Amino acid sequence: MGSVEFRICITNLLPTRLHRRNSERHGRRNHRAGRETRQGGDVPFGTIEVWCSRMEETMTCITELKDLATIIGILVGALSLVFTALNTRRTARANRAKFWLDLRTSFAKHDEIHRKLHPRGDWKNPRVPTSEEQFQVEAYMGLFEHCEIMLAQGLIDKKTFRDVYRYRLVNLVENDWVRVEKLCNIPDGWKRLIALLARMDVPYSCPKQ
């Protein structure tokens, strides 16, 4: 009786265990197949559509970033040009101011001749300068010729020079020795000074031959 019951129990258990094993094997195959599909198998059409949509959005974003970078580059370039222009203008003003200061220093070296040429100076009564004074006057006249060069090159402006130094030219041509011996007798030697007199509207006359 015991042996019969044991065989019946074994017979009932075998189909259950076989079914369970078959189910487990089938489940493993399905899982492996699904994993292979995810790794390298066919992709559903919906997935491709989503992927394409994202790629399109990415490309649009890249294009917009490129446009933004271009605009930023243009703005930076424009600001650089403005800064360069302002810096150049500031440098030009500084250089011009330096020219005027240097010119003032140069004229200060000829103060003695300037005072003698003044209407209330030592040469108010016409007299011929001494040899040493003549050298000093010629150096003074040479400085005015340098001024004409700077005016012609635009290094100093005409209005400022006229306001500050024109009266010195008037005093210079009032001296008979300067006017006759230098400007009238040897004009080729003082072309730049004569041009400066014309630029500053300082007339002078030569004696009739």
Domain-embedded: residue 12: no
At 145, which amino acid appears? E
Print pLDDT tens along the chain (209 aa).
Answer: 444 444 444 344 444 444 455 555 545 544 444 444 444 445 455 566 666 667 777 777 788 777 778 888 888 888 778 777 777 777 777 777 788 889 999 999 999 999 999 988 888 767 788 899 999 999 999 999 999 999 999 889 999 999 999 999 999 999 999 999 999 999 999 999 999 999 999 999 998 86
pLDDT of residue 38: 47
Q: Flag whether 158 is in a domain.
A: yes
Q: Cβ–Cβ contacts within 10 Å for residue 48, how many?
A: 10
- Does residue 30 form part of some domain? no
Q: Which domain holds residue 157?
A: 109-199
161 within domain boundaries:
yes
Number of domains in the chain: 1
Rounded to 10 degrees, the C-alpha dihedral 38/39/43/49 comes to 100
pTM comes to: 0.58
Closest CA to 159 of 201, 112, 125: 201
In a domain, 146, yes or no: yes
